[in-house]
C-alpha cells in the first residue's frame, strides 16, 4: 500500500483555478511530484483557491478558501492544510513560510531562494517590529519540519547566520537540468554573423528586464549584427502588452515565449544568455539550461547564481546595471573564442547539476524523513 504525501503551496493554479502559467517553481513542483510517484508515494497538492479540485499531470490539486497573509506568512492556509490533509502520512511545505505555525510531524520544508532581498519586502516589512515578527514566525516555520531543503547555499548561509539553531536540518539540493534534453547544438560550418542575445525569464523588474531593455536599445543601435530575444511571460497581461509594443518599436528586438519542449532549441540558437537578476533568486533553472546548452551566461550575483557561475570562467557575475550589462556583453561580442570556451565550461558545470543527481539527493532526504 503506497504512503500518502500532501504538498502545500500557494499558487500553482491562479486562485480562481482558471489559469496556470508554467514557470520554474511550477516545473519544480511537477518534477518533485513525478519523483514521489516514481518512488511509490501517492501525492496530492493543496493551494489557495475557491474550494475547487483540479487534476494536472495526474496529480489532484485542491483549493483551500483562505487567502490572508500576515508578515509574509500564511497561517490560515497552513492550518486549513493541517486539518484537510489529516489522512496523509507525510507533508511537503513547498515554501518555507508555509510551515508556520503548525507543521506535520514527518514533513520537509523547501526554500527556492531568498525572496526577502526584494525591495517590496522591505517596503512591506521594513519596520523593525514587522521584521522581527516575520523572523519570529520564520523561526517557528523552520522548527517544525524534520528537514529543510534549499536550492542554494545563500539561503542556508542566511539562516545559519540569523537563526543558527537549525544548522543540522539543512540539506543543499541545488536545482537541476536534464543534460540529455538540454545539450549544445551540433557544430556546423554555416557562417552566421548574427549575435543573438537571449533573456529567458519572466518580464519582471527583479529579473533585470528593464536594465536589459535599455542595454538592448544601446547595443542594437551600436552593432547591426546584434539581436535581442526576450523569451518569457509577463507578470500580467499589461506587462505582456507593453513588452510587445516595445519590441515592435525596436529593430532586432523580439518578444515572445515558448513551450518548455521548445526551449532547448531556443537556447541552442542563442550566443549569449542573460540572467541579470537583482534579487529573489535561487539556482535558476534557466541559467542551468543555458549552461547545459553550452552558452556563456551573464548573471546577477543574487541568490544562488554564484553557486552556478564562476567569474570569467563560465560567464560573468555582475551587479546588473545597464553599464555592467553592456560592458560584459561587449566583451563577449568581440571575442567568439571566449564565448566558446565559457560555453564549454558551462556545459561541464551543468553536468554536475544533472537531473539524475537531483533525483538521487531528493530520494535520500525523502527516505530519511518519510519512514
Partner 1 sequence: MPKLTAMMIVRNEAKRYLQRCLNSLAKYTDSIVILDDASEDNTPEICLTYRQVKLFRQKESTFLDNEAQLRHKLWHYTLNDRPEWIVAIDADEFLEEEAIKELPYLLKQKYFNAVSFRLFDCWEGEEYFRTDGLWNPWRRGFSIYMVRYLPQLSSAWPPLKFHCGRFPIAYRQLPHYESSIRIKHLGWANAVYNRAKYERALLQDPSCQYMSKEHYESILWPPEKIKLEKWVERSSI
Residues at the site binding partner 1, with contacts judged by CB under 8 A: 13, 19-22, 30, 54, 56-57, 196, 198, 227, 229, 231, 233, 237-238, 240-241, 244-245, 247-248, 254-262, 266, 269-270
Query: Could you give the CA distance from residue 307 to residue 288 in angstroms, rounded to a whole number?
Result: 11
**Percent composition of the chain: helix, strand, coil (DSSP 3-state, to 5):** 45, 20, 35
Q: Is the peptide bond before 70 cis (omega within 30 degrees of 0)?
A: no
Beta carbon nearer to partner 1, 264 or 315: 264
* Partners of 195 in the β-ladder: 226
User: CB of residue 55 vs partner 1: minimum separation in angstroms?
Assistant: 9
- Nearer to partner 1 among residue 152 and residue 227 (C-beta): 227
CA distance 141 to 248: 46
CB 308 within 8 A of CB 291: yes
DSSP state of 311: B
H or E segment at 297?
strand 297-300
**Residue placing its CB nearer to partner 1 in the complex, 256 or 313:** 256
- Give the span between the Cα atoms of 238 and 360, in whole angstroms: 41
- Distance of closest approach, residue 231 Cβ to partner 1, in angstroms: 7
Contact 183, 169 (CB under 8 A): no
Smallest gap from residue 237 Cβ to partner 1 (A): 5
End-to-end Cα separation, the chain, in angstroms: 14
Calpha distance 186→210 (Å, rounded): 33
Task: Provide, rounded to whole angstroms, the least separation between the CB of residue 53 and partner 1.
Answer: 12
Cβ neighbours, 10 Å, residue 171: 17
Helix (H) or strand (E) holding 286: helix 285-292
At how many degrees (to 10) do helices 336-351 and 285-292 cross? 110
CB nearer partner 1, residue 228 or residue 358: 228
Judged by beta carbon, residue 121 or residue 246, the one nearer partner 1 is 246
**How near is the Cβ of 256 to partner 1 at its closest, in Å?**
4
CB of 49 or CB of 303, closer to partner 1: 49
Q: How far is the CB of 197 from partner 1 (least distance, A)?
A: 10
Summary count for the chain: helices (H), strands (E):
12, 14
| Least distance in angstroms from the C-beta of 149 to partner 1 | 24
Gap between the Cα atoms of 55 and 106, Å rounded: 25
**Which of 248/348 has CB closer to partner 1?**
248
Contact 263, 195 (CB under 8 A): no
Closer CB to partner 1, residue 18 or residue 129? Answer: 18
- The count of other CB atoms within 10 Å of the CB of residue 304 is 25
Which of 227, 281 has the CB closer to partner 1? 227
Amino acid at each position: 500500500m503506497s504512503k500518502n504525501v500532501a504538498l502545500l503551496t500557494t499558487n500553482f493554479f491562479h486562485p480562481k483555478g482558471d489559469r496556470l502559467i508554467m514557470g520554474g517553481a511550477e516545473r519544480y513542483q511537477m518534477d518533485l511530484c513525478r519523483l514521489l510517484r516514481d518512488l511509490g508515494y501517492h501525492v496530492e497538492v493543496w493551494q489557495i483557491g475557491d474550494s475547487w479540485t483540479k487534476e494536472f499531470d495526474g496529480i489532484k490539486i485542491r483549493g483551500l478558501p483562505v487567502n490572508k497573509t500576515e508578515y509574509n506568512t500564511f497561517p490560515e492556509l497552513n492550518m486549513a492544510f493541517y486539518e484537510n490533509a489529516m489522512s496523509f502520512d507525510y507533508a511537503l511545505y513547498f515554501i518555507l513560510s508555509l510551515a508556520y505555525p503548525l507543521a506535520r510531524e514527518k514533513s520537509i520544508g523547501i526554500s527556492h531562494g531568498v525572496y526577502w532581498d526584494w525591495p517590496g519586502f522591505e517596503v512591506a516589512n521594513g519596520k523593525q517590529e514587522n521584521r522581527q515578527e516575520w523572523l519570529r514566525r520564520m523561526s517557528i516555520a523552520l522548527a517544525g519540519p524534520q528537514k529543510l531543503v534549499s536550492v542554494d547555499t545563500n539561503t542556508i548561509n542566511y539562516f545559519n547566520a540569523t537563526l543558527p539553531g537549525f544548522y543540522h536540518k539543512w540539506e543543499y539540493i541545488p536545482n537541476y537540468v536534464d543534460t540529455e534534453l538540454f545539450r549544445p547544438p551540433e557544430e556546423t560550418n554555416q557562417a552566421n554573423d548574427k549575435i543573438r542575445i537571449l533573456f529567458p525569464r519572466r518580464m519582471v523588474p527583479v529579473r533585470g528586464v528593464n536594465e536589459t531593455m535599455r542595454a538592448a536599445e544601446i547595443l542594437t543601435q551600436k552593432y547591426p549584427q546584434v539581436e535581442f530575444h526576450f523569451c518569457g511571460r509577463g507578470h500580467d497581461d499589461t506587462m505582456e502588452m507593453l513588452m510587445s509594443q516595445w519590441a515592435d518599436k525596436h529593430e532586432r528586438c523580439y518578444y515572445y515565449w515558448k513551450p518548455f519542449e521548445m526551449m532547448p532549441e531556443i537556447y541552442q540558437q542563442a550566443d549569449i544568455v542573460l540572467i541579470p537578476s537583482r534579487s529573489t533568486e535561487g539556482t535558476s533553472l534557466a541559467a542551468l539550461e543555458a549552461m547545459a546548452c553550452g552558452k556563456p551566461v551573464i548573471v546577477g550575483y543574487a541568490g544562488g547564481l554564484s553557486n552556478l557561475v564562476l567569474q570569467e570562467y563560465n560567464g560573468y557575475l555582475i551587479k546588473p546595471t545597464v553599464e555592467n550589462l553592456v560592458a560584459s556583453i561587449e566583451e563577449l561580442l568581440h571575442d567568439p573564442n571566449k564565448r566558446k570556451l565559457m560555453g564549454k565550461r558551462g556545459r561541464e558545470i551543468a553536468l554536475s547539476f544533472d537531473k539524475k543527481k537531483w533525483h538521487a539527493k531528493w530520494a535520500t532526504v525523502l527516505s530519511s524523513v518519510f519512514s
